[in-house]
Amino acid sequence: MNRIAQTFAVLQSNRKKALIPFITAGDPDPALTVDLMHCMVDEGSDIIELGVPFSDPMADGPTIQRSSERALKHHVSLINVFDMVAKFRQKNTYTPVVLMGYANPVEAMGYENFAVKAKDAGVDGVLTVDYPPEECEEWVKCLEQHGMDAIFLLSPTTTQLRIEHVAKLAKGYIYYVSLKGVTGASHLNLRDVESMLAKLRALLSIPIGVGFGIRDGATAAAVAELADAVVIGSRIIEEIEHSSRSEILNNVGNLIASMRMAIDAKRDQN
Amino acid sequence: MNVYDLPNKSGHFGPYGGVFVAETLISALDELREQYEQYRNDDAFQKEFTYELKHYVGRPSPIYHAKRWSEHLGGAQILLKREDLNHTGAHKVNNTIGQALLARRMGKNRVIAETGAGQHGVATATVAARYGMQCVVYMGSEDVRRQATNVYRMKLLGAEVVPVESGSRTLKDALNEAMRDWVTHVEDTFYIIGTVAGPHPYPMMVRDFQTVIGKEAKIQMQEGYGRQPDVLIACVGGGSNAIGLFYPYIDDNAVQMVGVEAAGKGLDTNQHAATLTKGKPGVLHGNRTYLIQDDNGQIIETHSISAGLDYPGVGPEHAWLKDIHRAEYVGITDDEALEAFHALCRLEGIMPALESSHALAYAAKLAPTLAKDKLLLVNLSGRGDKDMATVAQMSGISL
């Protein structure tokens, strides 16, 4: 069993939901990223999604775009991101790390080269935003051969036929994008999420994480009631943006802790 | 004989093209593809499109023999396909009319567009006014500053112009932002892409609307010259005017095709936009194609005197035509383009767009090497009024 499957198995046996924070590697600067990863784990995160900065993040809203721009000011490349994961692994061998990014940096490096280096560094899964299932069979095979999970997005507008297609390729967990639009949007309709998740569960055997639009403990807890995992991205990036450098670890840690507490408290009520 | 019939069903031209977008955009693209497939073969749709091109745009655009310039160069005869005479002054309107008609049939009353210099933005704002649609144009804030006149033109036509502050604040960032708008307002919004890039079906659809250029040329050449040209020459940024001229000739191997990219300050500098000449294949803006990128796969800012060619990608069909050696792609520098601009003004009384001046400059290089009975057909894709400030500045004159 790999780290992602192991993590969900343990959570499930404890009746707990996964908390998955997203940060961009190298934001606000490369020296802070590994500390941030450890801090988020210490405060109750189960899986870390680490964004690979890209010059043209078409599916992201302004907040995550800015985080990418800050990281690129430091010329953060895939090699740097692998180094950060390897450094994280020196102290943490159990928390899964999923890289999230766009196709072009992967293509520039080459599939095989990427997979070997990512695996060596200790990466567990890869979500390539602009590789829909139709365009990435070879890529998915390559990840699989190197023992990493291809994570896929599903959206409210994904058809039944496509869900079935994704079900055949997806490993680890599914990232369900709970709203139309880009990352950082703010209105979340829980009833819509609930009905779509029922549809997804019927077709998918892996855990489902929900992201987009989760702003606070209350929404995190409400989503955790429905899904297996809660993904939080823009809200954390905002915390990084609004904190002075010396406060970042403390403030992001507090935010994660409050989300964790809200999610667990809701479970204990039920 | 092999008949060229690309893209395939999934939108690929060999390894290029395709649909490289986040899941959130897939259903919108599926809807667009299905609807376009239907109207592509619909007589009433095609009839309305043709009617609009004739009565609103003023087509067919003539082919003009640039006799004095040809004589001056002393070689092959240069013929100009006069897209600059279209309503709004460029080929762009052929495409925006086609997409606006499709938007209407799909019941979408809000159109959005990205624009660099503002030409596609103006062409979109124009058809939005013509058909009574709401129009939002995304434009890099850097371009908004450089192209104040076109921003005002769009506003006069009733469009809202949104300055984009992200990334390099130019065309590619405007495209990113328009995609973000589309994914958020997909129910009532149609995204009119201005060139043969983006995810399938855009490269095919925009090409289809622009092929009116090449189809007319084939008829006009036969009528006026009793034969087809020896060489077709067109500038390539995204590549819509070039593919519009080339496409009907692809199976006619006797006709050579040359796409002219912006070599900016020189192909050996890092200030150019010669994607096919100097770039490497990758994935951007929904398709696989050649890109100007660094070793880490980050997209690099490009440079050209002509804002319309200043784009780090290129249409995937051009990438394929390059790889199969059906078309050849060359670079022309800022200075060479400027020289051709002035030559056409002085010798023919035609002020070409700086984009088109790149194609003209290559014709001026090629013509003297060929016999006098050879025919070069250059796509004069737009008129140069919009570029007067740039040209004046380059000549050290303030207006």
B176 to chain A, minimum CA–CA distance in Å? Answer: 5
Query: Which region, left, alpha or beta, applies to residue A168 given φ > 0 means left and ψ of -120 to 50 means alpha?
Result: alpha
The answer to whether the CB atoms of A153 and B20 lie below 8 A apart is no
From A66, which residue of chain B is nearest by alpha-carbon distance? Answer: B166
The answer to whether the CB atoms of A130 and B179 lie below 8 A apart is no
Q: Is A159:A134 a contact under the CB 8 Å cutoff?
A: no
Catalytic pick among B81, B83, B92, B240: B92
- Measured distance CA(B290)–CA(A9) in Å, rounded: 44
Q: Out of A54, A155, A158, whose CB is closest to B298?
A: A54
The answer to whether the CB atoms of A104 and B297 lie below 8 A apart is yes
- Measured distance CA(A189)–CA(B315) in Å, rounded: 39
B chain contacts of residue A56, beta-carbon cutoff 8 Å: 167, 172-173, 176, 284-285, 299
Give the containing element (helix H, strand E) for A37. helix A30-42
The answer to whether the CB atoms of B283 and A102 lie below 8 A apart is yes
The answer to whether the CB atoms of B22 and A59 lie below 8 A apart is yes
Tokens representing B109? 């009353």
Among this protein's residues, is B114 annotated catalytic? yes
How does pLDDT run across B98-131, given as a tens digit for each residue? Answer: 999 999 999 999 999 999 889 999 999 999 999 9
> In this model, does residue B293 exceed pLDDT 80?
yes
- Measured distance CA(B275)–CA(A260) in Å, rounded: 48
How does pLDDT run across A114-157, given as a tens digit for each residue? Answer: 999 999 999 999 999 999 999 999 999 999 999 999 999 999 98
Q: What is the pTM of this model?
A: 0.96
> In this model, does residue B1 exceed pLDDT 60?
no
Instruction: Point out the residues of A that are catalytic.
Output: 49, 60
The answer to whether the CB atoms of B22 and A159 lie below 8 A apart is no
DSSP letter for each residue of B344-365: HHHHHS--B-HHHHHHHHHHHH
A56 interfacial to chain B (CB closer than 8 Å): yes
How does pLDDT run across B352-399, given as a tens digit for each residue? Answer: 999 999 999 999 999 999 999 999 999 999 999 989 989 999 888 988
B185 to chain A, minimum CA–CA distance in Å? Answer: 8
A chain contacts of residue B183, beta-carbon cutoff 8 Å: 59, 180-182
From A129, which residue of chain B is nearest by alpha-carbon distance? Answer: B22
From B10, which residue of chain A is nearest by alpha-carbon distance? Answer: A134
B72: which residues sit within 8 A by CB, 6+ positions away? Answer: B343, B347
Q: Would you place residue B245 in the very low, low, confident or very high pLDDT band (cuts 50, 70, 90)?
A: very high
From A79, which residue of chain B is nearest by alpha-carbon distance? Answer: B296
ipTM above 0.90, yes or no: yes
- Residues within 8 A of B (CB atoms), A 66-105 only: 66, 69, 72, 77-79, 102-105
The answer to whether the CB atoms of A181 and B281 lie below 8 A apart is no
B269 to chain A, minimum CA–CA distance in Å? Answer: 21
The answer to whether the CB atoms of A132 and B26 lie below 8 A apart is yes
Among this protein's residues, is B339 annotated catalytic? no
Please give the average per-residue pLDDT across B249-256, as a whole number: 98
The residue assigned the tokens 């520039």 is A108
How does pLDDT run across B314-355, given as a tens digit for each residue? Answer: 999 999 999 999 999 999 999 999 999 999 999 999 999 999
How does pLDDT run across B150-182, given as a tens digit for each residue? Answer: 999 999 999 999 999 988 888 889 999 999 999
The answer to whether the CB atoms of A180 and B297 lie below 8 A apart is no
A chain contacts of residue B283, beta-carbon cutoff 8 Å: 102-104, 107, 130
Q: Is A177:B24 a contact under the CB 8 Å cutoff?
A: yes
A chain contacts of residue B281, beta-carbon cutoff 8 Å: 107
CA distances from B324 to A180, B11, B15, B250, B321 (A): 40, 18, 12, 12, 5
